[in-house]
């Protein structure tokens, strides 16, 4: 009986501190730039342990006001067109992904930008029920505490955009030799076009498939118009 009580006490304490640290971390990153993500550390370790790879790390955080308006619009058009209207989960996309995967077709994801941001900032890149459950938990937190504008700002800053390249500023300078603030719509769409596999594709050396996807994204950007947040963009 004492052992059971002790275990229950221990579980309660662990749960308490998990809630305190997780909520505290989300509140902190609402105001403070994310210094590094688990994926960045994992990639650096992988590169360090592979003698055929060069360890590269390019990550320069910028506020949305210093990023071309075209890039956030391009990633929303490419990744999650219902981003501004859903509560963190695109149920239709999740259902389509589930049906596609169940039928044995190529595995596809149904994660929203909010879910991807939660995973990138707080979790590890592994397919498991535990990670998906934690991803849902952090998605709810950032939707409630950060809001859409902050989520998108963090997303375009931390997302992997090439081997050792993270975020809009690093990608703009690596591929187009300019700051993110000067990206054109065509360049932004091309960066968004390679996001499904940024370690394989290169925006400065696009394949015919990348070009086709770029044109599709540009059409979707025209259809979406402007991104209107719960408060002014600037």
- The reported pLDDT for the residue numbered 220 is 96
Positions in the chain whose pLDDT score sits under 70? 93, 95, 97-109, 229-234
- The reported pLDDT for the residue numbered 99 is 59
- The reported pLDDT for the residue numbered 101 is 55
The CATH number that domain 27-224 falls under is: 1.10.3810.10
What the block records as the tokens of 2 is 């004492």
- The reported pLDDT for the residue numbered 104 is 57
- The reported pLDDT for the residue numbered 109 is 60
The long-range contacts involving 82-91, CB below 8 angstroms and separated by at least 24 positions, are: 82/112, 83/112, 83/113, 83/114, 83/148, 83/152, 84/148, 84/227, 84/228, 84/229, 86/112, 86/114, 87/143, 88/112, 88/114, 88/115, 88/139, 88/140, 88/142, 88/143, 89/114, 89/115, 89/136, 89/139
- The reported pLDDT for the residue numbered 227 is 83
Domain spans in the chain, listed from the N-terminal domain onward: 27-224
- The reported pLDDT for the residue numbered 217 is 97
- The reported pLDDT for the residue numbered 229 is 61
- The reported pLDDT for the residue numbered 49 is 85
- The reported pLDDT for the residue numbered 125 is 85
- The reported pLDDT for the residue numbered 149 is 95
């Amino acid at each position: 009986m004492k052992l059971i009580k002790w275990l229950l006490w221990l579980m309660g304490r662990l749960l308490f501190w998990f809630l305190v640290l997780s909520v505290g971390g989300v509140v902190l990153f609402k105001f403070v730039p994310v210094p590094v993500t688990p994926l960045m550390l994992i990639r650096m370790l992988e590169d360090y342990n592979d003698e055929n790879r060069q360890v590269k790390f390019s990550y320069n955080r910028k506020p949305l006001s210093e990023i071309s308006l075209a890039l956030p619009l391009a990633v929303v058009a490419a990744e999650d067109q219902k981003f501004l209207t859903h509560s963190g989960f695109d149920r239709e996309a999740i259902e389509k992904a589930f049906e596609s995967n169940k039928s044995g077709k190529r595995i596809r994801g149904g994660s929203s930008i909010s879910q991807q941001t939660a995973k990138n900032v707080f979790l590890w890149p592994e397919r498991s029920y535990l990670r998906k459950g934690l991803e849902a938990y952090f998605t709810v937190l950032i939707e409630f505490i950060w809001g859409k504008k902050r989520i998108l700002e963090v997303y375009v800053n931390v997302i992997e955009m090439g081997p050792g390249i993270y975020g809009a500023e690093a990608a703009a300078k690596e591929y187009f030799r300019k700051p993110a603030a000067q990206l054109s719509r065509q360049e932004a769409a091309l960066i968004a076009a390679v996001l499904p596999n940024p370690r394989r594709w290169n925006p400065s050396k696009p394949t015919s498939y990348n070009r086709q996807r770029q044109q599709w994204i540009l059409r979707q950007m025209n259809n979406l118009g402007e991104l209107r947040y719960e408060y002014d963009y600037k």
